[in-house]
Amino acid sequence: MDFIVRRAVQDDWEQFRALRLEMLADTPIGFTERLETAELRGEADWRLRTERIGEENVRFAAIAGEGEWIGTMGGYVEPEVAGPVLYGVYVTPRFRGDRFGVTDALLTAVEEWATALSPTLRLDVHADNLRARAAYVKRGFVLTGKTLPYELDTRQFEVEMIKRLR
């Protein structure tokens, strides 16, 4: 199936909301928000979360057919972190895998954005999210050795990974 990748805008909020609720239900350990919390958010909040405005915040969407969001990835620059951070990574289950190329297309968009800011792209991933960790390794990310507590349950942790872009 054909799809496009483009930057999200605030008017995409309903599509982003639907995908965000799907991602939180599908892979709860992949994110630092609970489904129950997300379901309570209003339109104004979804609009702000959909379009990360500015040079230092971005969200890309993979869109198929009649406007169906099938994946998303974002990036942000955190002042206390060296370089951009990849976050909010999700591809709907029926579009996962190399044969579709959704993950690679979204990651290429984020990497192009990040390359203008830094020679590296960093991410944090739940230590038990083995599917995501394998996907990142396949795409050139390596473990840094740094860990941090998982925000929703500090008995668990996330691992940091980094990729050299240039």
20 Cβ partners below 8 Å, 6+ apart? Answer: 38, 49
Mean pLDDT per 10-residue run, the chain (166 residues)? 91 95 95 96 91 79 93 89 90 92 97 94 96 95 97 96 95
Residue 71 lies in a domain: yes
Predicted local confidence at residue 149, as pLDDT: 97
Among residues 106, 43, 95, the alpha carbon closest in space to that of 72 is found at 106
**Residue written as token pair 């579709």:** 100
108 domain-assigned:
yes
Query: Is 154 inside any structural domain?
Result: no
Spell out the residues 6+ positions from residue 92 whose beta carbon is closer than 8 angstroms to its own. 19, 22, 69, 70, 71
Judge contact between 72 and 8, C-beta under 8 A: yes
Q: Domain count for the chain, please give it.
A: 1
Domain contains 159: no
Tell whether 52 is covered by a domain.
Answer: yes
| Alpha-carbon torsion (70, 48, 107, 110), positive or negative | positive
In a domain, 64, yes or no: yes
The pLDDT value recorded for residue 54 is: 62
Instruction: Tell me, yes or no, whether 161 lies in a domain.
Output: no
Residue 31 CB-half CA count within 13 A: 22
**Residue 55 pLDDT:** 66
Place of tokens 């591809």: 91
Check residue 159 and give its pLDDT: 98
**What is the domain range of residue 92?**
3-118
CATH number for the domain that contains residue 70: 3.40.630.30
Residue 145 CA to residue 104 CA, distance in Å, equals 25
